[in-house]
Structure 1
């Protein structure tokens, strides 16, 4: 193999190592998103956690593909590199689709406030296993738009744990759960969309180098 092809080989190994790291970079926000949405499953429409689940799965696939890409580059196996290139092209298309979907739905909050409002209106002080309690405790929020949504006694989960919860308490959560979830969805959508598209750009460079290496191996 000549100097130019050898250079492409090691550049490809470097880029594949980046893809391997990209797989980890996809897994981390994906897992965080799945956990965050999992805490609010009862109140959040399924369309919001689908991208998180897909990006987590894709992260695991990218990690494995990146590893085999490194092996293919070092072994100079033309067949392996062609298969790898095809897989990366498919992954890039999926990532772009996820990125676009995440950005499209980042401000689509239809239906989020409805279930929270129902839970607040039907709240039973001292009742066990009420989804709104877990939501308020996890995201440090209260009611739909704020504590004023509760006409009677405030739930203990509207304040920091271990403190007496009243409308005048300094430990009262003043932000409504609807706004908190909207902010969470927007932030996670931006994160998932940005990472998916950013990693897609890196993988396009890998595809080009893979084609160059496969051509040099054939020659």
Structure 2
């Protein structure tokens, strides 16, 4: 009876962890989608270590949600096959998350390097795109309160009309034509590469830390699931 009562407790705890897994899965998907959206606005659409890492995070989140459902079904029906499947898949997910966390740390500087290259390319293309009135680059400069790649003087190398101006998005108070004959005190002087690069790296580290934290919770889930599998195999009644 003591074992039976203990297995009931383990089963309840497993349900709690499965609910936590579902929440973690939704969180991973949300963070991955949000970060992927930001990267798509700041980095070229080519496959990069940063973008690939985020795709892995989203895929892991979706797979974790499905695995949690399998675990719920296995625990509810006390199905040995489903519980073993749950343990195997959860172990694989944990290994992928740890690998993703390590990759996020290793490639944090690579993401910034890619952003630097693509930002400068967008600056070169800016004169051709500016006729639309709305530019991704303008949005970045306004939102991050920056101007140019390294600093505002980078725009001096871009053939804007009239010569010597900066985009209006560099202005502290954005108005039509404020970038023409500007005064330095009226514009943002810091470069966007450093400001946005720091933001990107910090968010990659947040995702990596979250993945490691979730992996720790999954270890506990695996332990409880293994205990339940052992109980089912031993033929104990846990209901």
TM-score by length of 1: 0.87
Taking the aligned partners of 2:143 and 2:154, their CA distance within structure 1 comes to 19
Deviates more, 1:159-168 or 1:44-53: 159-168
Q: Deviations over 1:12-43 (max 9, x none)?
A: 11111111111112122111111110111239
Q: Please point out which of 146, 169, 179 is paired with 1:141.
A: 146
More helix per residue: 2
Equivalence for 2:68: 66
Q: Please point out which of 115, 127, 130 is paired with 1:127.
A: 130
> Displacement, 1:86?
0.6
Question: Is structure 2 residue 204 aligned with structure 1 residue 189?
Answer: yes
> Displacement, 1:110?
3.0
**Residues 107 and 41 of structure 1: CA distance in aligned 2, closer, same or farther (over 3 Å):** closer
Structure 1 unpaired stretches of 5+: none
Aligned residues: 218
Equivalence for 1:99: 101
Deviates more, 1:122-131 or 1:21-30: 122-131
> Displacement, 1:207?
0.7
Equivalence for 1:13: 15
Taking the aligned partners of 2:121 and 2:28, their CA distance within structure 1 comes to 35
Deviates more, 1:135-144 or 1:15-24: 135-144
Taking the aligned partners of 2:69 and 2:125, their CA distance within structure 1 comes to 52
> Displacement, 1:68?
2.4
Structure 2 unpaired stretches of 5+: 157-163, 235-239
Taking the aligned partners of 2:126 and 2:32, their CA distance within structure 1 comes to 32
TM-score by length of 2: 0.81
Taking the aligned partners of 1:6 and 1:167, their CA distance within structure 2 comes to 72
Deviates more, 1:56-65 or 1:39-48: 39-48
Question: Is structure 2 residue 40 aligned with structure 1 residue 38?
Answer: yes
Structure with greater Cα Rg: 2
Equivalence for 1:213: 228
